[in-house]
Chains A and B, each alone.
Chain A
């Protein structure tokens, strides 16, 4: 149980276009989802925390207008990279926290989405 999926797994787009990445909790409800990005040989960096039904909380240095996050339901959060540029090319991973569990429980991670902007 506790599976998180991401779609697409890989996307290549032209500079200036927008890309939407979906994160779904398949068999549980997630009140909170986290979005991370990872540059090559770098650590995962938290971009934002997404709570169902409310606005996402962005980490310092992350542009809200560029990385639009929507957490419309307890099983789905989306990250839209608007007007993507080559420097946005990265590996994006989401994780979900189970609705019924406390902070002490594990996070469940999606498989990640590799975005390449040409």
Chain B
């Protein structure tokens, strides 16, 4: 059974820092991996989708990498801003999607 772990569970940083969020998974037989953002009480907003054949995807200040063989993905956030404060979830797509518990990020001014 696929297990997805996200580290760290929580992160509090000053504005402007570059951040790395980690996601690891136990079964490398995946179709893709997706990073989401969730604001308190809200639904999910898709940030980046990496297909299993890809190594990374970029969108603005966000960059996600995928190393399928080692079962890892990282989400890099450049020049963090208070508006980036949210919970970040990674979801691994095999036959069914499996989510990590998320990293709760607080960026303070």
Contacts and interface: CB of A to CB of B under 8 A. Distances in A.
Given A43-B100, A43-B102, A49-B96, A106 B49 contact: yes
Interface string A14-35: 0000000000000000000010
Nearest to A110: B43
A107 B97 contact: yes
Interface string B28-53: 00011010100001111110010110
Contacts of B96: 34, 46, 49
B72 interface: no
B89 A109 contact: no
B100 A103 contact: no
Range, interface on chain B? 20 to 34
A44 B36 CA distance: 12
B37 to A, nearest CB: 11
Contacts of A7: none
B41 A114 contact: yes
A54 interface: no
Contact of A91 (B31, B36, B41, B52): B41
Interface of B is mostly: strand
Given A104-B31, A104-B32, A104-B51, A111 B43 contact: yes
Nearest to B101: A43
B41 to A, nearest CB: 7
Nearest to B44: A109
Contact of A112 (B42, B46, B51, B102): B42
28 contacts: A34-B96, A36-B99, A42-B101, A43-B99, A43-B101, A43-B102, A44-B44, A44-B91, A46-B98, A46-B99, A91-B41, A93-B43, A93-B44, A95-B44, A103-B32, A104-B31, A104-B52, A105-B49, A106-B49, A107-B91, A107-B93, A107-B97, A109-B43, A109-B44, A109-B45, A112-B41, A112-B44, A114-B41
